[in-house]
Amino acid sequence: MLLFCPTCGNILMVEQDTTGHRFTCSTCPYICNIKRKTSTRTFPRLKEVDHVMGGAAAWENVDSTDAECPTCSHKKAYFMQMQTRSADEPMTTFYKCCNQLCGHNWRD
């Protein structure tokens, strides 16, 4: 598939003709008819994103407290505090249910 003019090196334009489509150069008289349909799509591989709070490893050595889970009503939850706003704002407390079947996360 041609993308640049072999005569002058400028980029080729696609235009519709009475017989189909063709490549044309805007600066010289080069014309090349397109005989077959070609299309390819390549999708970039997305970069793996790290979990904002550190993933499962962030919850390994945290303390537990008396807090009721809004999902399963379990009475204990793990917690950690993190500064998510500016320094003059209070810290945000994140909770994770101690019930292994639930594991719901919420914040206060």
> Does 19 have pLDDT greater than 70?
yes
How far apart are the C-alpha atoms of 108 and 106, rounded to whole Å? 7
Cα 35 from chain centroid (whole Å): 38
Please tell me whether residues 2 and 29 are part of one structural domain.
yes
pTM of the model: 0.50
Is 8 marked as binding a ligand? Answer: yes
Q: Of all helices (H) and strands (E), which one includes residue 79?
A: strand 76-82
Q: Give the pLDDT band (50/70/90) at residue 12.
A: very high
CB 90 within 8 A of CB 99: no
Q: Which structural domain, as residue segments, surrounds residue 102?
A: 55-107
Say if 43 falls within a structural domain. no
CB 43 within 8 A of CB 60: no
Say if 50 falls within a structural domain. no
CATH number at residue 8: 2.20.25.10
Is 25 marked as binding a ligand? Answer: yes
Can you give the pLDDT at residue 64?
Answer: 87
DSSP 55: G
DSSP 99: -
> Does 53 have pLDDT greater than 70?
no
Is 32 marked as binding a ligand? Answer: no
Can you give the pLDDT at residue 50?
Answer: 66
